[in-house]
Amino acid sequence: MHKPAHLFIAPTGIHWLCIAIIALLLVPLTIFSLEPDRIYNAYFRTFATPAVEREFGFRMERTRMYFHTQALEVFVIKSLEPEGVLAKAGVRVGDVPLGTYIPKNDVAFCRDLLRSHAQITQIHLVNGDEYEARLGRGESSITNVGYNAIIPKQNYLHPRQACATAIFNPCFRVKAIP
């Protein structure tokens, strides 16, 4: 007895299971391959940034500033612990971390700070009010504004900090503390 042709192409229970497994694997992999930076930044902001902020004694917040009519999201240092590493380096509340041509995002700034576990690190900052005024006037160049702060090499690492540094900074090697 022959089965009707439509029964040969109708998925059964095991077929649906295979389709579901493939979909559950392919969809996240496709999203990750299309947006790896966003996913990494979200992961870093969730797990590493709070630890870096505690270690270096500061808090950052996202602030909106305007260049002509275009809104820019800029990260500004909102608070400093008086005895924190950044306060000792001369960083001030309200400053904006700068990259070569644009303000740094929070992930790039925290990665710069993590480099101080292995070496002396220099960061470039500008007063947030001054930067906002320059943007309002239509000046986009930031090459000759602001100041540099030197972050000394951090000699002591709490075991949790050492673990976080090794995970988020692949160039860093954890050494035993005498």
Task: Read off the pLDDT of each residue in 140-151 and give the average, rounded to a whole number.
Answer: 81
Please give the structure tokens belonging to residue 32. 């990750």
Does residue 128 sit in helix, strand or coil? Answer: helix
Does residue 131 sit in helix, strand or coil? Answer: helix
Q: What percent of the chain has pLDDT over 90?
A: 21
Contact present, 86 and 56 (Cβ < 8 Å): yes
Per-residue pLDDT tens over the stretch 13-70:
788 888 888 888 888 778 777 777 788 888 888 888 899 999 999 999 988 888 878 8
> Residue holding tokens 């998925």?
11
Q: Grade residue 7 by pLDDT with cuts at 50, 70 and 90.
A: low
Q: What is the CATH number of the domain that holds 62?
A: 2.30.42.10
Domain assignment present for residue 23? The answer is no
Domain assignment present for residue 1? The answer is no
Mean pLDDT (the chain) is 79
Residues 148, 81, 133, 49: is their CA dihedral positive or negative? positive
Domain assignment present for residue 87? The answer is yes
Domain assignment present for residue 118? The answer is yes
97 lies in which domain range? 48-168
Please give the structure tokens belonging to residue 81. 């612990």
Contact present, 80 and 86 (Cβ < 8 Å): yes
Domain assignment present for residue 153? The answer is yes
- Going by C-alpha positions, the residue among 150, 151, 146 that lies closest to residue 95 is 146
Contact present, 164 and 112 (Cβ < 8 Å): no
Domain assignment present for residue 54? The answer is yes
Domain assignment present for residue 111? The answer is yes
* Rounded distance between C-alpha atoms, residue 77 and residue 79, angstroms: 6
Task: Read off the pLDDT of each residue in 111-130 and give the average, rounded to a whole number.
Answer: 89
Domain assignment present for residue 60? The answer is yes
**Counting Cβ atoms within 10 Å, is residue 118 exposed (0-12), middle (13-18) or buried (19+)?**
middle
Give every CB contact of residue 43 below 8 A, 6+ residues apart in sequence.
none
- 106 conformational bin, left if phi > 0, alpha if psi -120 to 50, beta if neither: alpha
Please give the structure tokens belonging to residue 167. 């995970």
- Going by C-alpha positions, the residue among 81, 73, 77, 66 that lies closest to residue 126 is 77
Q: How many domains does the structure of the chain reveal?
A: 1
